[in-house]
Chain A
């Protein structure tokens, strides 16, 4: 597609429910990232995928968070047993490759706004 597409754009869920957030990166981009943006906290790195390599999960805040990327394209971020502190905007991004030094830009989607009540 023309840009990074995320769905849903808004999600309200009850505490304890599981949620899935979807990201469709720019066609041909091999690197895909998930970030979390909380009010006043900037952007927190969660996980990235690069081609067929094992994902870097070092930013995931707890084992309730997981992500997968099928066929090297679409990615799903899953949050199990949601808590109120999970409320945030979840941003997906993609780039041609991970190495920023080569000049490749990371392109962001508009985010999925998650509210846990």
Chain B
């Protein structure tokens, strides 16, 4: 079975500051990892995903994440936060032939 833990239900950063959203996973098989973003009153949109190959994955809107097997982590980063980045972010894991298992989400606030 797979599980995801997102550290911090709410993260606040200043505009222009580094964004770091933490995600740790548990999986008995090689995982496939995803980050989704949810803007207010909208559905989920895929930011990026790791399946195989390069462990540093680049996504939309300047976000990237690095798969670290030794740390069972898939943290999401962005060098410089914009006001438009304020949203809920969800990390998810799959075994490849199972539905996604999501973390509880991290709400990102960006302060001007």
* Range for the number of chain B residues in contact with chain A: 20 to 34
- What interface size band does chain A fall in? 20 to 34
Known: A100-B94, A101-B51. A48 touches B99 (CB 8 A): yes
Q: Which of B44, B52, B94, B96 has the most CB of A within 10 A?
A: B44
Instruction: Please tell me which one of the listed residues B36, B51, B99 contacts residue A45 in the complex, with CB atoms under 8 A apart.
Output: B99
Q: Is B78 interfacial (CB 8 A cutoff)?
A: no
Residue A98 at the chain B interface, CB threshold 8 Å: yes
Q: Which residues from B are CB-within-8-Å of A103? A: 49, 51
Contact assessment for B51 and A100 in the assembled complex, using a CB-CB cutoff below 8 Å: yes
Contact A98 B97 (CB under 8 A): yes
In the complex, what residues of B have CB within 8 A of residue A93's CB? 44
Give bound CA distance, A45 to B96, whole Å. 15
Contact A91 B99, beta carbon cutoff 8 Å: no
Contacting pair A42 B102 (CB below 8 A): yes
A25 within 8 A of B: no
Cα–Cα, bound, A111→B81 (Å): 27
| A42 vs B51: C-alpha distance when bound (angstroms) | 22
Given contacts A42-B105, A100-B94, contact A4 B43 (CB under 8 A): yes
* Complex interface bits, B54-69 against A, C-beta within 8 A gives 1, otherwise 0: 0000000000000000
Residue A43 CB within 8 A of the other chain: yes
In the assembled complex, the Cα of A6 lies from the Cα of B97 at a distance in Å of: 25
Residues of B within 8 A of A106 (CB): 46, 100
> Nearest 6 CB-CB pairs, A to B?
A101-B96, A42-B104, A43-B102, A108-B43, A108-B44, A100-B94
